[in-house]
Structure 1
C-alpha cells in the first residue's frame, strides 16, 4: 500500500470552512479587483522601501495575478481599505497549479508601514491562512501538502504572525550581488557545448530544462506553461543577456536574466537580476553553470550594466551559493521561508 493511500485526506487535517471577512475598527476588508492594481502597487512599493530597499515590486507582477487561471481573485485576495479609500494592506492566498506529487500553498501580502502594529496584519494573515487551507482541503487529496510564507529578514512581526499559525522557518534565501567591473574567472564550456542567447523559439525547450533541473530543489514544483509564458513573454526578461547551453541542439543549462529599471534607483546602480540558473540532471558536473553565468555577466557588462543580483537557497545541495561566491557574488540581504506541512 502506498504512503499516500494511508494518509488522511487534507479535508480531515485542515479547517476547510470558507473564511469570513475580518473586522477591524480602522479599516474595511474586501476582495481586490482589477481597478485596485495601481493602489495595491503603490502600497507595496511603500513596504518595499522598508522591507527590501534594494528592489521594487513591478506593477506587472500584481497585474499578472489577475490573469492566472488558478487564481479566483474574488475569493483568494484581500485588501484593507482606510477611511480615505487608500489601500493599506493587501494579500493573496495561492495554491500551485501543479499538484501531481504534493501541494504547495503560498501566503503573500504586506501592510503599509504607516499602518503596522494595529492588528491589521494579524487579521490579514489569519484570513489568508484560512483561505489557503480551504483550497487545499477542497482538492480531496491525500498527498503531502505545505503552506509557505516568505519573510524578509528584519520583519520580525511577520515571522511572529506566521509562527502563531504553526509555520516554522525551514530555509533561508540570500540575495547576492556582483560588481560587473570585476573580471569573470570561469572555465569555458565543455567540448560539444554551444552557448547561445535565449530566443522565444526555444521557450518550450527551456521550460522543459527548467523543470528537469529544479525537480530536486527544495520547495520547487514544475512551472506551468501559463506561468512560464508570463515570465518569458513579459517586459523584463532580456534575451540578449540570457544564456542557453546546447548539446546537439538540446537545452542542457540556462541562465535567464531580466532588467527592471525601477530597481536601479533602489540599488544605486544599473543592474540585471538573474532569475534562473539551472543544469539538467544528466549534465551536472560538466561545468555548465559557471559557463552560462559567465556569458551572462559579460553580456550584461557589455550592455552597460554595473551590477548583477541573484537569490540563492543557502542550503541547496547543489552548493550553488559557493559557486556564486567563487564567481564574485557577495551576500547582501536574506529572506526566511516559513513552512507548515501536512
Structure 2
C-alpha cells in the first residue's frame, strides 16, 4: 500500500537529533516467528518472481488508475525492481492469484543496505479493485507489517528503526484506515510542485551563477561517483534520508535523463580545510586525497513518460537536488536546478516538476515558490517508530 516511488530528495536540510539509548533491534522489532496467513478472497499466495513483471505492471497500473494516483509505471521500471541484488523477493514479497492465475493482489517489503542512522522497512502493496471489500487488504497489510518487523530484526542493526508507508492524500480512505488501525501515524508530509515553462516571456527562467569560482557542468559518467558522495553529504542532516551505497545509487535509473542533469564542481577546492573539517566524511576525504573531482551540488532529472497522459501535460522531473553542507549559501544547488529547467525547455517539456518535504525549516518552499513552482498533489508517510 502506498505510492509508486518515494518522493524525490530535494534540498531541505534539518538538524539531526540525539538518539536516546535503545534496546536491541531484535527486541524492539517484536518480530513474529511466523507470518499470518491470508485467507480472505480465496486467492493462492506465493512470492513474486521476475516472470511476474508483466502481470505485476498491469496490476499496479490498474490499482493506480482506480485510486486516481497521479502516475503510471513502465515495464522497464518493474523489471528493474528485480535487478537490484539486495532485494529478496523470495521472502519479502507475496502475490495473490485467482483460480485462473490472474494476479489480483501483491505486497512487498523494501529495505536498503545503506541504512546507517535509521533502519527502515517500507511497505508497498495493493488489491485489484474487482476484489476489494473482501478483507484481502487488511490481511495483506498484516502480512506486510509482520514481515517488515522480521526484516528489521534480521538486519542486526541496533539503530532507531522505522516501518513506513507512503499514501497519496486524496487516495482511498479505506486504505488509510487499514494503515492507521495497524498503529501507523502520520510522520512526514510531501508535496509535488510544478512550474509552467510554456510562457518564458511572462515568467523567465532564473539566471543563476554559483559564487566563488564554482562551475555548472553537464552530468557525466565520470562524475557519477563524485555526485553520489555529494548526495550523501548533502542529505546527511535530512530527516529520513540514508546514505546510498554505489549499487543503490546506480539502481532505479530507467527514467533517468543525463542530458537533463547537471552538477556543480569546485576545480580548486581547499583540500586542507576540507580534510580538517570534522563534517567531511571518510569517502569524500579519500576522494580528495586521491585528487578526484569534487562535486558540490547536483540536479538529477528523470522523464516519466507514462505519467504524461495522466497529468495532462509533459514535464521534466527533478528527482534529486542537493548541495554539500560546506558549500551552502553559494547558490550552487539553485544554479544546477536552473540548468535543469533550461534543459526541460530545450526538449519542449511544458512543466518542471519536483517533490519536497513540507516539514523542512530551510525555506525550500519559499525558494521554489519564488521560481514559479506551485503545489499539485500531496502525500504522507505514515510510520511506526521503533
Does TM-score exceed 0.5, indicating one fold? yes
Q: Partners of 1:313 and 1:99 in 2: how far apart? A: 19
1:205 equivalent in structure 2? 226
2:23 equivalent in structure 1? 8
Match status 1:160 vs 2:177: yes
Partner residue of 2:78 out of 62, 67, 81? 62
Assess if the C-alpha contact under 8 Å between 2:212 and 2:330 holds in 1. no
Match status 1:253 vs 2:297: yes
1:194 equivalent in structure 2? 215
Bigger shift: residues 16-25 or 80-89 = 16-25
Assess if the C-alpha contact under 8 Å between 1:290 and 1:323 holds in 2. no
Aligned-pair CA distance for 1:228: 1.2
Normalised TM-score (structure 2): 0.83
SS in 2 for 1:308: strand
Match status 1:180 vs 2:197: yes
Q: Partners of 2:335 and 2:66 in 1: how far apart? A: 36
Q: Against the structure 1 CA distance between its residues 309 and 51, is the aligned structure 2 distance closer, same or farther, given a 3 Å change threshold?
A: farther
Q: Partners of 2:112 and 2:246 in 1: how far apart? A: 13
2:163 equivalent in structure 1? 147
Assess if the C-alpha contact under 8 Å between 1:77 and 1:91 holds in 2. yes
2:380 equivalent in structure 1? 336
Partner residue of 2:340 out of 271, 274, 296? 296
Assess if the C-alpha contact under 8 Å between 1:5 and 1:142 holds in 2. no
Normalised TM-score (structure 1): 0.93
SS in 1 for 2:40: coil
Match status 1:137 vs 2:170: no
Assess if the C-alpha contact under 8 Å between 1:16 and 1:138 holds in 2. no
Q: Partners of 1:278 and 1:323 in 2: how far apart? A: 13
Q: Partners of 2:235 and 2:166 in 1: how far apart? A: 19
Partner residue of 2:100 out of 76, 80, 84? 84
Aligned-pair CA distance for 1:77: 0.3
Q: Partners of 2:346 and 2:363 in 1: how far apart? A: 28
Q: Partners of 1:58 and 1:224 in 2: how far apart? A: 25
**Comparing both chains, which one has the higher relative contact order based on Cα–Cα distances under 8 Å and sequence gaps of 6 or more?**
2
SS in 2 for 1:108: strand
Bigger shift: residues 242-251 or 48-57 = 48-57
SS in 2 for 1:157: helix
SS in 2 for 1:83: coil
1:49 equivalent in structure 2? 65
| CA-atom RMSD in angstroms | 1.9
Aligned-pair CA distance for 1:318: 2.5
Q: Against the structure 1 CA distance between its residues 244 and 22, is the aligned structure 2 distance closer, same or farther, given a 3 Å change threshold?
A: same
Q: Partners of 1:58 and 1:179 in 2: how far apart? A: 25
Q: Partners of 2:37 and 2:351 in 1: how far apart? A: 44
1:170 equivalent in structure 2? 187
Bigger shift: residues 83-92 or 324-333 = 83-92
Q: Partners of 2:345 and 2:89 in 1: how far apart? A: 40
Aligned-pair CA distance for 1:4: 8.0
SS in 2 for 1:218: coil
Assess if the C-alpha contact under 8 Å between 1:103 and 1:136 holds in 2. yes
Q: Partners of 2:207 and 2:97 in 1: how far apart? A: 51
Match status 1:310 vs 2:338: no
